[in-house]
Structure formats: structure tokens, C-alpha cells
Amino acid sequence: MKVEIIKCLQDNYSYLIINEKNNYACVVDPSEAAPIIDFINKKNIKLKYILNTHHHYDHVGGNNDLKKKYKAKVVGFKDDKHRIPNIDILVEHNQKWEEESFESKIIHIPGHTTGHICFYFQKEKIAFTGDTLFSLGCGRIFEGTYKQMYNSLNKLKNLPIDTKIYCGHEYTLSNYLFCSKYDRNNKNLNKKIFEITAKLKKNLPTIPSTIGEESACNIFLRAKNLKEFSKLRDLKDNF
């Protein structure tokens, strides 16, 4: 299984999970169809499933066109069935979604939206965290509570430390600036800037990160309790 990163819109990432044996693929959070179609055509990929972490337009914008063109099936959280366009397969927390050779655990991680989920491919040790966990940051709390977001991040933090994290946006540099302002003496964090700028200079994604790196560097995962987390989230909203 191989993951390809596809840049969409301004700063979104969509991902193709490809079984290299038969070229069957899932796309995670297609913001728009065109860049996905482009990649699929070039590499002769057969798109089978569209996995949505949440209903925001920059994560589902390509659903309709991709479904039409490839007859791919849309997988999303059951409580969001009325707001994830073209949804076919409803999944719920703790369920294992299995189709073809794809096998993902569903982890409900509300906070950014009430229906946000993570697709966790346990065997491959990769997790698609949408707009909940970013590299060095976390999503804004739009629909949920601070407590929900804090608990959701803790669920992700408990995944094995070598789990690769694929998130919804390239926000790493601005997240770094926030982390370094409030976590000045974090040596692990301070080292990250060289890696981040080197990648961005070459126009490469800073993704994937890992749970281990995020636990060491991401100020939101390092918050000791809900109160500290909430304060940081407020500060970040006005950063």
C-alpha cells in the first residue's frame, strides 16, 4: 500500500491510498476533482472509494465528479449522512471498514465538527486526521466543545508512536510559529524548523508527521489538562 499526496485548492491535501498490486485506490478528502483525475489518469489508477473525514466543502468538493466518473463509493460518518454529498457507506466509531484489500479502523474524533472521523489503517500504521490533528497544530473548534477536541486529540495521541499522520492542510509553518512562541525551550520543536523550511523551499509537503513527533513537538498534544488546552486553543484563534 502506498500513499500519494495531492495538493488541492490553496493549502489542502488529498491523499490516494494505492494498492500497488492491482492499482485499486481510495482517495481521502478530495477537495476538488481535477487534480485527482489528473493523477489517476497519469498513473492508470482505479479509484474505488472516497473517504471523507468530515463534511466541510474543502474535504468533499470532489465527491460528486469522482463518483460519477469512476463509480467510486463514498464512505463517511453515519451521523453526517445528510451533509456528506453522495454518501454511500455509513461508518461509525470503532468500526472496522473493510473493502477489497483496504482495512481501516474508524475513530470518531469530534471537536472541529461533531461528525469528524479518523481513518486509521492499523496494518500500514497510517492515520488520516483531517482537520483535527495537524502537524504542530489542531483544528479550530467549530461545532464541538473544548472537551471533545481535547479527548479526540488524546485518542490520536494514544496510537502507536510510529503511526504516520496525514492531515488535511499544509499549516505546519504557521503552527510552528505558534508552538515556538509558547513552548520556547522545547528542543525537539526547535529542531523542526530546519526540516520544515527545507521542505517548503523545495515546494514539498511537510506531511506526513508521526504520533511520536507530534507528542514531542505539538503544543496541543503537550497540554497537561483541559484547561491548559482550552487556553492554547483560544490563543491560537487570535494568533
Residue type, 142: F
Backbone dihedral angles phi then psi of residue 169, each to the nearest 5 degrees: -145, 155
Q: What is the C-alpha to C-alpha distance for residues 44 and 81, in angstroms, rounded to an integer? A: 31
80 binds Zn ion (CB under 5 A): no
* Grid cell locating 114: 461533531
Cβ proximity to Fe ion, 131 vs 214, nearer residue: 131
CB of 139 to Zn ion, least distance (A): 6
DSSP state for residue 62 in the 8-state scheme = T
> Which position among 29, 55, 56, 116 bears the catalytic label?
56
56 binds Zn ion (CB under 5 A): yes
Q: What is the C-alpha to C-alpha distance for residues 57 and 61, in angstroms, rounded to an integer? A: 5
CB of 55 to Zn ion, least distance (A): 8
Find all residues with CB under 8 Å of 154, minimum gap 6, and list them. Answer: none
116 flagged as catalytic? no
Q: Looking at residues 123 to 142 of the shown chain, list those that interact with Zn ion (rule: CB under 5 A).
A: 131
Q: What is the C-alpha to C-alpha distance for residues 136 and 105, in angstroms, rounded to an integer? A: 24
213 contact choice in Fe ion, Zn ion, none (CB below 5 to 8 Å, kind-dependent): none
169 binds Zn ion (CB under 5 A): no
Binding range to Fe ion, per CB under 5 A, among 123-131, 181-189, 199-207, 208-216 = 123-131
213 binds Fe ion (CB under 5 A): no
Pairing of strands 133-134, 137-138: antiparallel
Q: Which of 168, 178, 219, 220 binds Fe ion (CB under 5 A)?
A: 168
Binding range to Zn ion, per CB under 5 A, among 55-63, 66-74, 117-125, 194-202 = 55-63
80 flagged as catalytic? no
* Grid cell locating 67: 463518483
Binding range to Zn ion, per CB under 5 A, among 56-64, 80-88, 188-196, 210-218 = 56-64
Residue among 156, 160, 222 nearest 189 (CA): 222
108 flagged as catalytic? no
> Which position among 29, 55, 59, 108 bears the catalytic label?
59
65 flagged as catalytic? no
Residue type, 95: Q
Backbone dihedral angles phi then psi of residue 162, each to the nearest 5 degrees: -90, 10
Q: What is the C-alpha to C-alpha distance for residues 38 and 139, in angstroms, rounded to an integer? A: 29
User: Could you give the residue numbers annotated as active site?
Assistant: 54, 56, 58-59, 112, 131, 169
- Contacting positions for Fe ion (CB under 5 A): 58, 131, 168
- Contacting positions for Zn ion (CB under 5 A): 56, 131
